[in-house]
A and B are shown apart, each in its own frame.
Chain A
């Protein structure tokens, strides 16, 4: 029984008919054609599907799209403005915080929230902050370096 939902994704508000059991990640990828958000495990563990829902990082395979009705979503596609990368994206590029790149959109969305809450994290706090995001390639070293670099770039401010 389809339901109508209105969601603002990366600043654009759209109304769509969706099946109630459509997951938010499926809505973003299949309905909005925003395939930057990845599906890694589909079991709430890997964090590849992390987006911001109403300002909070969430694994979008663990919420139904109907739960986002009336809300706002930000995905990795919404980070750059006028072709200029978000400082966290630039930091991942600068520090080579990726290899295959599959985990990267989720890592970036989680790391952005981490710095919003704690602009000057220690290495331990960074590792703890991204523990819901798994990376099969990097061994995390350069991801942690990237988050440190982004934090330094903001001068410890939001």
Chain B
């Protein structure tokens, strides 16, 4: 006898986004979209999620592919980590994204986990939420009837919660082209078993000809209930020459935007995460500055 770990569900594989959205509406909150399944299937096996229906997006062509243009990249929600890390376009236009994708989990997980699933899930320890925040990405979504563009700053709302509505499908992630003289870096303290971020920091730094910081994006994952921009830190960088003490002082405020308290779990205490947020912010900013030169 085979033990069934998940609760029963219906399974469907629509061909279009419109059909996927129609099915979401039909089940009125009872259905879940299935991308790579590498967050959802483990949750279902633990019965922490028991959707009545699974709408598998693997047959929806519109959600695939990476397009590169003068304005930046348009990345289909079903693009896997492996596709991101091995794409020449992504390596060229957004090396931060390729590098962060290569740091996720292991080869098998990267073959199936998708960028769309990673950001839609808004797992507090996931890597890509910090990366898309630091890149000022735009989340393109669609329902049966209409689409919208959600600036990433308004996308992550809470622990496992995003701005996506019940019948809305995330279709593409648009990553604008970075200004010249921009350096990027993603550095995390990773959980030794899963490689999820205990704390992860993405930094995007643009320097002027005189070495003064013109623009800074710093985003934090792992530390709080959901990924956030460290705007206080960013403001302390812009307009200054980024000497080590300037970076260190700015990094000290990197936890300021964490909503509520720092995460506390078997992997790390809240105090440790708070301390590591500063340490990893300093390292990520320093590495981004070095790349920008």
Contacts and interface: CB of A to CB of B under 8 A. Distances in A.
B4 A132 contact: no
Contacts of B8: 1, 19-21
A64 B51 CA distance: 14
A45 B2 contact: no
Contacts of A44: 38, 41-42, 109
Contact of B42 (A1, A50, A62): A62
A22 interface: yes
Contacts of B105: 132
A113 B9 contact: no
B194 to A, nearest CB: 7
A21 B7 contact: yes
B71 interface: no
A77 interface: no
A47 B5 contact: no
Interface in A12-71: 19-23, 26, 30, 42-45, 47, 50, 56-59, 61-64, 66-67, 69
A57 B107 contact: yes
Contacts of B58: 67
Nearest to B194: A45
Nearest to A27: B2
A3 B11 CA distance: 9
A47 B107 CA distance: 10
Interface in A125-156: 129-133
Contacts of A66: 11, 56
B261 interface: no
B41, B107, B111 interface centre (most CB from chain A within 10 Å): B107
A83 to B, nearest CB: 29
Contacts of A47: 106, 108
A4 to B, nearest CB: 11
B193 interface: yes
B10 interface: yes
A76 interface: no
A58 B4 contact: no
B176 interface: no
Interface residues of A, number: 34
B45 interface: yes
B4 A19 contact: yes
A114 B106 CA distance: 11
A56 B41 contact: no
Interface string B4-46: 1111111101000000000000000000001001100110110
Contacts of B13: 69
A130 B8 CA distance: 33
Nearest to A45: B193
Contact of A30 (B2, B44, B82, B109): B2
Contacts of B56: 66-67
Contact of A132 (B37, B42, B44, B109): B109
A120 interface: no
Given A3-B11, A19-B8, A30-B2, A63 B112 contact: yes
A131 B106 contact: yes
A59 B193 contact: no
B11 A59 contact: no
A45 to B, nearest CB: 6
Given A59-B109, A130-B107, A132-B107, 7 more contacts: A21-B4, A43-B42, A57-B108, A62-B38, A64-B54, A67-B37, A131-B107
29 contacts: A3-B11, A20-B9, A20-B10, A20-B11, A21-B6, A22-B2, A23-B5, A23-B45, A42-B45, A44-B41, A47-B106, A50-B108, A56-B82, A56-B111, A57-B108, A57-B111, A58-B111, A62-B37, A62-B38, A62-B42, A64-B11, A64-B37, A67-B34, A67-B58, A113-B107, A129-B107, A131-B106, A131-B195, A132-B109
Interface of A: 1, 3, 19-23, 26, 30, 42-45, 47, 50, 56-59, 61-64, 66-67, 69, 110, 113-114, 129-133
Interface of B: 2, 4-11, 13, 34, 37-38, 41-42, 44-45, 54, 56, 58, 82, 105-109, 111-112, 193-195
